[in-house]
Amino acid sequence: DADVTQTPRNRITKTGKRIMLECSQTKGHDRMYWYRQDPGLGLRLIYYSFDVKDINKGEISDGYSVSRQAQAKFSLSLESAIPNQTALYFCATPSERGDQETQYFGPGTRLLVL
């Protein structure tokens, strides 16, 4: 499976602060995804990218922005963090199967906004 890393793994920040979550993959996949998970809820898609110049909004993009600096890197930014953005954030890439329905997820970043 794709080697997906996320940094930081845990982060505490304050309301109004700008924060960036980073995701890197080593398998050269064109597609990368950012999801958010809240306690007791499923994953919701924030943004996805089909290549460096193709970025698309997902289900819940408001309050977030992304940057695809290179094929291997996809960053998620909260320009002005608010408490209801406290959640577990996952980055994902396609699995070795290659289709978009089967994805490999990173270890996640746990974000707390005070």
Partner 1 sequence: LAKTTQPISMDSYEGQEVNITCSHNNIATNDYITWYQQFPSQGPRFIIQGYKTKVTNEVASLFIPADRKSSTLSLPRVSLSDTAVYYCLVAPLGKLIFGQGTELSVKP
Query: C-alpha angle 51/38/33, rounded to 5°?
Result: 5
Query: Judged by CB, which is closer to partner 1: 18, or 94?
Result: 94
Q: Is 92 in the site for partner 1 (CB under 8 A)?
A: yes
How crowded is the C-beta side of 79, counted as CA atoms within 13 Å?
A: 7
Q: Is 104 in the site for partner 1 (CB under 8 A)?
A: yes
CA of 31: how far to CAs of 15, 85, 87, 89, in Å? 31, 24, 23, 17
| Structural element, H or E, at residue 100 | none
Q: Which of 28, 41, 84, 98 binds partner 1 (CB under 8 A)?
A: 41
Contact predicate 32/48, CB 8 Å: yes
Q: Which of 103, 111, 112, 113 binds partner 1 (CB under 8 A)?
A: 103
Contact predicate 77/109, CB 8 Å: no
Instruction: Specify the stretch interacting with partner 1 by CB under 8 A; choose among 21-29, 64-72, 74-82, 84-92.
Output: 84-92
Q: Is 108 in the site for partner 1 (CB under 8 A)?
A: yes
Query: Judged by CB, which is closer to partner 1: 16, or 107?
Result: 107
Stretch 56-75 residues interacting with partner 1 (CB under 8 A): 58-59
Q: Which residues bind partner 1 (CB under 8 A)?
A: 33, 41-45, 58-59, 88, 90, 92, 95, 97, 99-108, 110
